[in-house]
Every structure is written in C-alpha cells, then in structure tokens.
Amino acid sequence: MQIKGKVALVLGAVKGIGKGIGLALANEGAKLVLTRHDWKDAFDSMEKDFSASKAEHLIITANLRNLKDIEMLALRIEEKYGCLDILINNIERGGWPTVHGEYVEDQWDLEIETTLKAKRWVFTSVFPLLKKAEEAAVINISSIAGIVGRSGPAALVFNDGYAAANRGISSLTETWARMGAPHIRVNEIMLGVFDSRHAKDTRGWNQALTEDEKQSLIDHTLLNRTGTIEDVVKACLYIVKDASYMTGSVLRLDGGYVLAGGKTPSMPEGIV
C-alpha cells in the first residue's frame, strides 16, 4: 500500500509509540486522525510536533473506554474523509506488580477496558469506513504479556489483567482478518520490553525496579537490550507498505524475550 494520501487513525498518539508511528505516517504523506486522553502535560508537544510535520491532521481528545466517545470518533472521520485506510489500534493500560502491588478492582477494570475492550469497539465502529477503502490495513499493538504472563523477570512488569487482555487481542486479530478479507488486512505486533512501555522511559523502571531487576529483564532478552520506538515504527511501516500477502498474523517484536528462557547449547561431541 502506498501511504501518501491515505487516511490513518492512530490511537494513543500523544506520546511514545503512538506518537512515533503517527509522525512516521505523517512523513509518508498520510492524512492523520490522532487520539489522546491522558498525559495532558504532553498535549502541547504533541500539537507542536505534528504541526511541524506539515501533514494534514486532526487531533481528537477522547476517552476510548467510553463507547459514546468512540462513536463520536468514527463519526468525525466519516464526516471529514468518508473512509479509513489505516487503523493503528494502539491503546493500552498495564499496571506493574512492582508499582501497584495487590490488585484492586478498579485497576483490573482499567487494564481490561483500555487494553482489550477499547480496541474491540474502535474496530467495530470504524469497520464500515475501512470497507469503503480500496484496500486497508489494521495493526493491533499487543504485548508478549499475553504469552508469558506473570512469570520469570516479566512478573515484575506484567500484571494478570494486562496479560489476559493481551491474550484476547490475538483472538480478535484472527477474527477481524476473516471479517476484512480480502480487502482489509489485519495483523498484530506483539511487543516485548520497550523503552516507552516497560523500560527506561517509564516511572516503574526508574522508581520501582532495582538495578538487578532491570538487568534481569535485559539478560532474558536474546538481543540484550530493550526495544525502541524506532523498532516499532519500522515494523508498522513494513506491514502497511510491503506485507501485502500478510493478514491474521502476529509479528512478535520482543528481541527474543520469549525464547531466552532456555538458550541452545553447543552440540555435544557424542560417543560414536
């Protein structure tokens, strides 16, 4: 898909990964619809950076846990553009065990509703707009929490609700790929430990984890580093622009975290 001139909706574009993806699509010539809700201290920099990109863009402040706000978002896109070509389903909330400790009900609800429920209702609301495009691409952003849960070093950063929500996303990815075929491709990028989500750019990393705990997460990653916004941006652009035969797939972008629990030893000499 050629991105220039296409209409792209990027959820959670106020900072971090969402903002990085939005700016990359702006550089490719997309017309952007960008959502924000929390992190009001970053609103000004968001506005300045997207204005500096010179891309046509519309910033909408919306609480995507609220169905009425989601319906309003879809209506705004329909009124302005009539269709939608690209959906970056990037919205999540995950409480860290090392930050929040024992669960309270509100924290569980926040993780499930933001990470899973909001993605579902956004897709459902814009699906008619995606069908109006000649071709469309949807990317669900998820986490390896859906695989590893609260185990090993990841138990420091992945809560139960966050893990359960992310496991559910893969089911939605497959269902939506079936619904959208053959003109709407739906894929998923499953993230490991990233700087702006669970590593150096977060309060949990800087205030809750010890140096040994941080190192344990890095040591468990085959590439021995945490992920960057640029890593995600490159993967998104690949899926949208070049992966024309890819749908219903999960691209695990974790630096080998899931594999690193048991490294492959050298072959033994044998006895024959």
Q: What is the pLDDT of residues 134-169, one digit of tens each?
A: 999 999 999 999 999 999 999 999 999 999 999 999
Neighbours of 179 (CB within 10 A): 14
Residues 40-70: tens digit of each pLDDT: 999 999 999 999 999 999 999 999 999 999 9
Strand partners, 48: none
Integer angstrom CA distances of residue 66 from 23, 62, 69, 114, 170: 26, 8, 5, 10, 22
pTM summary value: 0.94
Q: Tell whether the torsion through CA atoms of 119, 166, 164 and 103 is positive or negative.
A: negative
For 1-23, what is each residue's pLDDT tens digit? 999 999 999 999 999 999 999 99
Residue 173 contacts residue 120 (beta carbons within 8 Å)? no
Q: Is 187 helix (H, G, I), strand (E, B) or coil?
A: strand
DSSP 22-56: HHHHHHTT-EEEEEE-S-GGGHHHHHHHHHHTT--
Torsion of CA 142, 147, 150, 151, to 10 degrees: -140
